Structure 1
């Protein structure tokens, strides 16, 4: 399976992601944001792989940033950017965050969803993607988020992990599954984003799903480790996972 190598400008990313939601980016489209015109930019190759048996991801988003910014943190309320990714696969607020924060020095987003290696929905989508991001030396950390599609508000994430310092240096991380704490876990396909059915092969006749937040399901919680799929709805318990949901390898390249 071929690797995806993506490269474009920061402005192109902000223009594309600013209007993108799960209906478009989750099923295609690509974007990379880089620190425009920076001298001595450092280049990184970030490979993200889906380790679950049944949970597809929306296109993975990685952020290279300074230490004074936090994309998410366990025990704290999710930002609007993380809420929109976790509930709806919507990258618009994340792009706005990247644009407004000087501490964010580079962003890269995958061109399509990542499915489990077994591709249970027979979609033809890959289980891993390779992203390229550039940032100046002040960006010493990386964060990663991607929606766990067959959940209400679950996401795969890395919170502020070090970028490799040396050229040809490599660091490998295992990303856990998190609950954004913003929507009740009904585990009903009717409350999940529409691609949850097509990407998993679990079609529900007459059930469309939704790509927007439902105020009646809102909860005033904080980011926590995700409890997994417990079988309270019509999402099969087989969609549960054990251990980290994603592998993220970060390489500094010449």
Structure 2
């Protein structure tokens, strides 16, 4: 994760391809020379186009590749005060979001191609059909931490009309699955290059607002982080625009 390349723009399509059906009508004995008449093709489902833009507001906390999730209203990626599931724990400790694609209620997962560097911005275009998801979430890890993450938690797309923009700001959350030791070998980002996911849970085992980085410059002598890795809230600015 040390080679961080800002991504200017990703064109992403989430759509359901329609297969044309051709039904041949049976020919009678008196009409053997006539050609079968195909049934009309079904009309394509109307599409909805959205643009999601994310800005990293931190000074020295790269964000893992964005995980954009479209899902049903019953799904929520995290609940503050409750234990993180294994998929959230994996993302918060390593930046790996692949597990979200297999969760019940999730329709599609799209991930960014690169980490989002401090001060940089990324945009993603999404095309959905009317038959697809009604809600949207976004998650990313602050990679120079033990288990901090940020994002959008279950935003309903139903009320977003064409040309409307919804803006969010996200604080940093602590997955509560790994102690914030900041010790060498425990942080996957470029500040350390240590391990990512570890199945052992040695923290409070509930999601809560992250208390921030201490760093070696501020009295934690065993920390591999410096004062530059500290962050204030919010850590992300996010907007969702309905284009069509």
TM-score (norm 2): 0.76
Matching residue of 1:249: 239
1:172 to 158, 164, 167: 167
Match of 1:146 in 2: 140
The structural deviation recorded for 1:105 is 3.4
**The one of 139, 156, 162 aligned to 2:156:** 162
Alpha carbons 2:101, 2:108 under 8 Å: kept: no
Structure 1 residues 105 and 192: alpha-carbon distance in aligned structure 2, compared to 1, 3 A threshold: same
User: Which deviates the most, 137-146 or 69-78?
Assistant: 137-146
The CA deviation string for residues 72-99 of structure 1, in whole angstroms up to 9 with x for no partner, is: 11111112111111001112212222xx
Could you tell me how far apart the structure 2 residues matched to 1:249 and 1:237 are? Answer: 29
1:43 to 1:189, Cα distance in 2 relative to 1, 3 A: farther
| Count of matched residue positions in the alignment of Structure 1 and Structure 2 | 205
The CA distance in 1 between the partners of 2:106 and 2:47, in whole Å, is: 14
- Written as runs of structure 1 = structure 2, the 5 A alignment for 1:3-18 is 3-7=8-12
Q: Which residue of 1 aligns with 2:98?
A: 92
Tell me the CA shift for residue 53 of structure 1. Answer: 0.8
1:190 aligns with 2:185: yes
Q: Which position in structure 2 is the counterpart of 1:109?
A: 111
RMSD: 2.2
Q: Distance in 1 between matches of 2:16 and 2:184?
A: 41
Greater helix content: 1
SS of 1:105's equivalent in the other structure is: strand
In 1, Cα distance between equivalents of 2:152 and 2:8:
21
C-alpha distance in structure 1 between counterparts of 2:238 and 2:129, whole Å: 21
Q: 5+ residue gaps in structure 1?
A: 9-33, 118-126
Query: Could you list the runs of 5+ residues in structure 2 that have no partner in the other structure?
Result: 1-5, 19-44
